[in-house]
Structure 1
Amino acid sequence: MAPRIYTSPVPSFPILSTSVFTRLFAPRASGDIGGFPADLRAFVDAESGASITRAQLVHLALSFGYGIKHHPNTSRFASRGSTVLIYSPNSLAWPVVLFGSVAAGLRCTLANSAYTAHELAFQYADSGAKVIFTTEDGLSVVREMFAESGIAKAEADKRIVVLGADLRWAGGPSAPAGAASEGLVRMEDLLDKGKLDQEEKFEGPDAHETVYICYSSGTTGKPKGVETTHQNMTTLLDIVAPAFPPLWENSIMLGILPFYHIYGAAKLVHFPFSQGCPVIIQTKFEPDKFCAVIQRFRVTHALVVPPVLVVLARHSAVDEYDLSSLKVLFSGAAPLGHTLVKQVKERLLAKRGGRGELGITQGYGLTETSPTTHLLTVGEADRKMGSIGVLLPNLEARLVEDDEGEVDAEEGKPGELWVRGKTVMKGYLNNPAATANAITPDGWFKTGDVAIRDAEGYYYIVDRRKELIKYKGFQVPPAELEYVLLTHPDIADAAVIGLESVKEATELPRAYVVHAHPEKVRSAEAKAAFARSVGKWMEGKVARHKFLRGGVSVIDAVPKSAAGKILRRDLRELAKQEMARGELGGEVKARL
């Protein structure tokens, strides 16, 4: 039987084969940059207010690209196709360094700014990077990483470029250099050497060369480097535009997502620029600062993850600032339930007297898909609340019941989501076995997520295939239980994992919850009483096979990645510790 292949309701269109830099910066008419006025602000530093225009960004990027190719410390590592590593939180320097490196023909690998030296050492070696861009705060970790890698300090210091806090290059405030960075090359040192006449070109077949290497944690083994090509990224920019929440004249985007994550890199550093929308750069998410920045800059759009929406639903800062300019909240990277959407929408609109517009929507994708494959439009956000939206144009999808793809799910039934198209990665760097396991010979990428497609072509993620809990033959999606738990008035956050019951030969759902008022559950007795009450409360909310038979534990915070995904592996480790202490009983164990 032929596979059941779904396509997008949005018409396909021609795919370009060009470099990321050319796609973003090439003029469309006399005097413009990428189709928008050269003097339009591109990026703004939230703290200082310093900003760079589109014209300034082009000049700075081409100057940086020239500098890295000609500075005596970096030139030996800057031939076309060489890899550089960015290890830094969000900053105004980020787009300059990223696009400057791309203009020089380099690959960029983006590292989590919270990495330890050991974690960073793995990515540095696996990606083949030589030069590393970091902040003064990151220097101690970088130097420890070089030492662990067996690179002498004198040589290591020649491979470091410091992104300082001094913003005079962008018309912003000055800041003194730290003693630890003395003698190191600084970003500013690469801006005054000259300027590239033009960017390195990646046209036609060359567009399939790798430009970014982000690392995907996966579910097993070490992180894997995802090879994202110029073609992947430029295709993404084109196919996202028809379905993304509309950006109109005077729209302003708030950038709190980490730029090192593909979600932030694609949707904040690349996409708004391609649409002529300024981005306000915030280094990290803090509720009060988040709300203050929205008020100060009259932000209209914010890209978030579900934990940010939890804050907006409950934090007191929401009542202290004027958030009326906010028109669109777009969530990604983790499942978003309709209950949380309703809570946020009701709270924010109540402050406006029930007037005005506020769209809360979401999309779906993975690092391996550059990252987006599905989007829920603002116009359908209320009617299809909880959906990840429709498949984007130029992509195909399947819902598969088996690992080999021989059996497709029936219409309206769940199956593993497979996608195929020009946004799917070239492969995992240095890992052909993992690539072969993830991508079929005919190009289907196995997402590992279980989805349902309704009669109108809207998709709903049920859960990760490997995270589904099986209770006596019934499938129990952790995400569904988490959505229910978040409706409890005294629960601020929640996560669910499966425990294996030896006695019953099945898995039991166990919940980890964060109390909305921690001061009320300081003692062990209070935590135990609250946990029991939550378990009893859930019995009135879900079917019997979804009861929390593995128990409830009260914790201080649910472990999550910077992108907002629940780190279930950490919770499984916690469950093992609880089992060792005899807190789970002798007949259950955490699933590997």
Structure 2
Amino acid sequence: MSEEHILSFSSMAPHIYTSPYTPYPILSTSIFTRLFASGASGDSHIGSFPGSLKAFVDADSGASITRAQLAHLALSLAYGLKHNPHTSRFASRGSTVLIYSPNSLAWPVVLFGSVAAGLRCTLANSAYTSHELAFQYTDSGAKLVFTAEDGLSVVRAMLHESGIAKEEAEKRIIVLGSDLRWAGGPSAPRSPASEYLLKMEDLLDKGKLAEEEKFEGSNAHETVYICYSSGTTGKPKGVETSHQNITTLLDIVSSAFPPLTGGSIMLGILPFYHIYGIAKLVHYPFTQGCPVVIQTKFEPVKFCSVIQRFRVTHSLVVPPVLVILARHEGPSTNTIYRVSESLFSGAAPLGQTLVKQVKDRLLAKRGGRGNLGITQGYGLTETSPTTHLLTVEEADRKMGSIGVLLPNLEARLVEDDEGKIDAAEGQPGELWIRGKTVMKGYLNNPTATKNSITPDGWFKTGDVAIRDNEGYYYIVDRRKELIKYKGFQVPPAELEYVLLSHPDIADAAVIGLQSEKEATELPRAYVVHAHPDKVKTAQAKAEFARSVVKWMESKVARHKFLRGGVAVIGIIPKSAAGKILRRDLRELAKQEAARGDLGTEVKARL
């Protein structure tokens, strides 16, 4: 790999790095047109690949949809949305729909059908509570909601919390059932709870748009996806991702990502509502003619059996999945798993030790046959998401690196908040990114946008990185306070807000603990009891702490649980301005860890 070029390296100008890869032409078109256009190959092809090629496969049933079927279903759904009496009033160009569902074969149909109709899609975590979902529904301006049957009770509660009358609320729900007959799969009974609601299938047989809504030229800058990023303070923020953000990403990723043609098959276990999943599983494989096998959730034995059954060649994972693969014992320890040719990790840092453990163990399961590339990349919701990739060829030599900068992007490593001082060669600095994949801004939040993107277009990632003399980057710290649990963002301020609603908590603060065992961060709360005389003994404090952990589980999504525990203290350290001094709490956590109070495999994040 050649070293990156330094565009400017004088003491007076910023140090700007570019990619060693050749830049790509920037397209100005809609993401639907980019993916589904027949092009020069004719109508029998969808996006330069035969329409008969499978696009998505349901791992449980084996049901599948081809590229041509997906195009037809998407345009049919778009027509249904625009002409159904319940949905048409909310399906004009630029309107927003919310998708609240775990992975399913219906997911790409709903997503691309909505995009073909000219709608914006906001993607919600399928584990959200009604309160969490209500904020995203209201903030995004969504009206229609696509939901799996299992999410119906949450969606109904959310609409009620949003002040929408029941009769009206029922008209805004579209149900994704378990019946796969529309895809040639098995039938399934409909949940009684969804009996009188509109089903996705009801929108598929009314007609078909002749063509998708167009977003050409400057219109390609219009928002297409609104994924929510927790940021570092306050409530979650809607990241406005444009058509051009995604089309640019799909091109530049191909420079370093393993080739997915010639019989490649990808396993889709990452949640599609996450920017990592939506970009790298729903979109990118489609550009490469690579089918995606959809698995609803990760289970170690099922993960390996699905890989064997469908002969999967590439899998996208997160570090906690690799932790399980490194340690899990299947039903037969003599089984030789046909593991993917490559495992690509993202959404959270990946350590060298874990990579080696997984490689040694899984190659042993295969009798030492072949090779296994375990690599990683880097990005954020705000960068659509990927900015760096480590190639399979360099995975062992540069283990622990996030790779090099992708084409069409620029980077800086900055020492100060204003960007006046750049880090010296080989020294750490906050990673700033500039390019066409960087978001338009935060929805309804110009202040956060201004604080995150400089007037000349640099996005401040909040992550501290080092760049070596070959142009490879390493993430070494994070300036943000954001906690990441298994790739999911957990904002301390949000948890603190919930904790303060507890009748016996007078004050609260949350920090992240790094679990070596789980290879992820765990949220830990420090609370001040409203009646200190009730928790004078260590036993009373411990019992109250356990009750708070349990109480929180009824208030937030699973990834926000206080898995790092709760500690009762006398006062939350704060500055004169009232800002929580989390550094002091991290020092306290280090002392707790030294005493063994946090377990031997947990440490406070510096």
| TM-score with structure 2 setting the length | 0.81
Unaligned runs of 5+ in 2: 1-11, 484-510, 527-537, 543-548, 572-583, 590-603
Deviation string, structure 1 residues 368-423 (Cα, Å, up to 9, x no partner)? 00000000000000000000000000000000000000000000000000000000
Distance 1:587 1:248, change over 3 A: closer
Name the counterpart of 1:244. 257
Counterpart AA for 2:25: P
Aligned-CA RMSD value: 3.0
Aligned counterpart in structure 2 of residue 371 of structure 1, from 368, 374, 385:
385
Aligned counterpart in structure 2 of residue 88 of structure 1, from 101, 119, 133:
101
Aligned counterpart in structure 2 of residue 397 of structure 1, from 391, 411, 421:
411
Counterpart mapping for 1:331-342 below 5 A: 331-342=345-356
**In structure 1, C-alpha distance between the alignment counterparts of 2:148 and 2:462, rounded to whole Å:** 36
Deviation at 1:494, TM superposition (A): 6.2
Check whether the contact 1:255–1:268 (CA below 8 A) recurs between aligned residues.
Answer: yes
Matched, 1:132 2:138: no
Matched, 1:9 2:37: no
Deviation at 1:239, TM superposition (A): 0.4
Name the counterpart of 1:291. 304
Aligned counterpart in structure 2 of residue 209 of structure 1, from 190, 215, 222:
222
Distance 1:151 1:365, change over 3 A: same
Name the counterpart of 1:384. 398
**In structure 2, C-alpha distance between the alignment counterparts of 1:498 and 1:187, rounded to whole Å:** 41
Which secondary structure does the structure 2 equivalent of 1:364 belong to? strand
Matched, 1:78 2:91: yes
**In structure 2, C-alpha distance between the alignment counterparts of 1:434 and 1:468, rounded to whole Å:** 15
Name the counterpart of 2:508. none
Aligned counterpart in structure 2 of residue 182 of structure 1, from 191, 195, 198:
195
**In structure 1, C-alpha distance between the alignment counterparts of 2:519 and 2:242, rounded to whole Å:** 37
Matched, 1:330 2:306: no
Check whether the contact 2:525–2:562 (CA below 8 A) recurs between aligned residues.
Answer: no
Deviation string, structure 1 residues 92-144 (Cα, Å, up to 9, x no partner)? 00000000000000000000000000000000000000000001111100000
| TM-score with structure 1 setting the length | 0.82
**In structure 2, C-alpha distance between the alignment counterparts of 1:122 and 1:235, rounded to whole Å:** 30
**In structure 1, C-alpha distance between the alignment counterparts of 2:205 and 2:481, rounded to whole Å:** 52
Matched, 1:427 2:438: no
Distance 1:399 1:587, change over 3 A: closer
Matched, 1:444 2:455: no
Distance 1:468 1:153, change over 3 A: closer
**In structure 2, C-alpha distance between the alignment counterparts of 1:449 and 1:169, rounded to whole Å:** 45
Counterpart mapping for 1:8-47 below 5 A: 8-28=19-39, 29-30=41-42, 31-47=44-60
Deviation string, structure 1 residues 516-549 (Cα, Å, up to 9, x no partner)? xxxxxxxx99xx9xxxxxxxxxxxxxxxxxxxxx
**In structure 1, C-alpha distance between the alignment counterparts of 2:207 and 2:380, rounded to whole Å:** 38
**In structure 2, C-alpha distance between the alignment counterparts of 1:391 and 1:579, rounded to whole Å:** 47
Counterpart AA for 1:18: T
Aligned counterpart in structure 2 of residue 355 of structure 1, from 369, 390, 397:
369
Counterpart AA for 2:326: A
Check whether the contact 2:336–2:366 (CA below 8 A) recurs between aligned residues.
Answer: no
**In structure 1, C-alpha distance between the alignment counterparts of 2:56 and 2:335, rounded to whole Å:** 23
Check whether the contact 2:336–2:367 (CA below 8 A) recurs between aligned residues.
Answer: no
Deviation string, structure 1 residues 159-191 (Cα, Å, up to 9, x no partner)? 000000000000000011111111110000000
**In structure 1, C-alpha distance between the alignment counterparts of 2:520 and 2:227, rounded to whole Å:** 28
Unaligned runs of 5+ in 1: 470-477, 501-523, 529-554
Which secondary structure does the structure 2 equivalent of 1:309 belong to? helix
Aligned counterpart in structure 2 of residue 194 of structure 1, from 201, 207, 212:
207
Distance 1:105 1:468, change over 3 A: closer
Counterpart AA for 2:220: A
Check whether the contact 1:64–1:191 (CA below 8 A) recurs between aligned residues.
Answer: yes
Counterpart AA for 2:14: P
**In structure 1, C-alpha distance between the alignment counterparts of 2:245 and 2:308, rounded to whole Å:** 35
Aligned counterpart in structure 1 of residue 181 of structure 2, from 145, 168, 176:
168
Distance 1:17 1:411, change over 3 A: same
Tell me which moved more, 187-196 or 310-319.
Answer: 310-319
Distance 1:232 1:136, change over 3 A: same
Deviation at 1:576, TM superposition (A): 3.8
**In structure 2, C-alpha distance between the alignment counterparts of 1:405 and 1:100, rounded to whole Å:** 42
Counterpart AA for 1:436: K
**In structure 1, C-alpha distance between the alignment counterparts of 2:416 and 2:587, rounded to whole Å:** 28
Distance 1:320 1:141, change over 3 A: farther
Name the counterpart of 2:593. none
Deviation at 1:63, TM superposition (A): 0.3
Deviation at 1:466, TM superposition (A): 3.4
Counterpart AA for 1:334: A
Distance 1:3 1:278, change over 3 A: same
**In structure 2, C-alpha distance between the alignment counterparts of 1:126 and 1:231, rounded to whole Å:** 23
Deviation at 1:575, TM superposition (A): 4.5
Deviation at 1:367, TM superposition (A): 0.2
Deviation at 1:465, TM superposition (A): 1.3
Aligned counterpart in structure 1 of residue 430 of structure 2, from 411, 416, 427:
416
Distance 1:579 1:381, change over 3 A: farther
Deviation at 1:292, TM superposition (A): 1.6
Percent of paired sites with the same residue: 75
Name the counterpart of 2:6. none
Deviation at 1:325, TM superposition (A): 4.8
Which secondary structure does the structure 2 equivalent of 1:466 belong to? coil
Check whether the contact 2:523–2:562 (CA below 8 A) recurs between aligned residues.
Answer: no
Counterpart AA for 1:443: G
**In structure 2, C-alpha distance between the alignment counterparts of 1:138 and 1:229, rounded to whole Å:** 28
Distance 1:83 1:348, change over 3 A: same
Aligned counterpart in structure 2 of residue 107 of structure 1, from 102, 117, 120:
120
Counterpart AA for 1:376: L
Deviation at 1:242, TM superposition (A): 1.2
Name the counterpart of 2:289. 276
Check whether the contact 1:7–1:397 (CA below 8 A) recurs between aligned residues.
Answer: yes
Check whether the contact 2:230–2:482 (CA below 8 A) recurs between aligned residues.
Answer: no
Deviation at 1:319, TM superposition (A): 3.7
Counterpart mapping for 1:44-59 below 5 A: 44-59=57-72
Counterpart AA for 2:36: F
The size of the alignment, in residue pairs, is 516
Aligned counterpart in structure 2 of residue 313 of structure 1, from 301, 326, 336:
326
Which secondary structure does the structure 2 equivalent of 1:416 belong to? strand
Which secondary structure does the structure 2 equivalent of 1:95 belong to? helix
Aligned counterpart in structure 1 of residue 235 of structure 2, from 214, 219, 222:
222
Check whether the contact 2:36–2:47 (CA below 8 A) recurs between aligned residues.
Answer: yes
Name the counterpart of 1:455. 469
Deviation at 1:77, TM superposition (A): 0.3
Deviation at 1:577, TM superposition (A): 3.6
Q: Give the 4+ runs in structure 1 shifted more than 3 A.
A: 318-322, 466-469, 491-500, 569-572, 574-580, 585-592
Counterpart mapping for 1:475-490 below 5 A: 486=516
Deviation at 1:463, TM superposition (A): 1.7
**In structure 2, C-alpha distance between the alignment counterparts of 1:297 and 1:131, rounded to whole Å:** 35
Deviation at 1:571, TM superposition (A): 6.2
Which secondary structure does the structure 2 equivalent of 1:13 belong to? coil
**In structure 2, C-alpha distance between the alignment counterparts of 1:492 and 1:197, rounded to whole Å:** 50
Counterpart AA for 1:287: P
**In structure 1, C-alpha distance between the alignment counterparts of 2:523 and 2:291, rounded to whole Å:** 40
**In structure 1, C-alpha distance between the alignment counterparts of 2:298 and 2:335, rounded to whole Å:** 16
Deviation at 1:288, TM superposition (A): 1.9
Distance 1:498 1:120, change over 3 A: closer
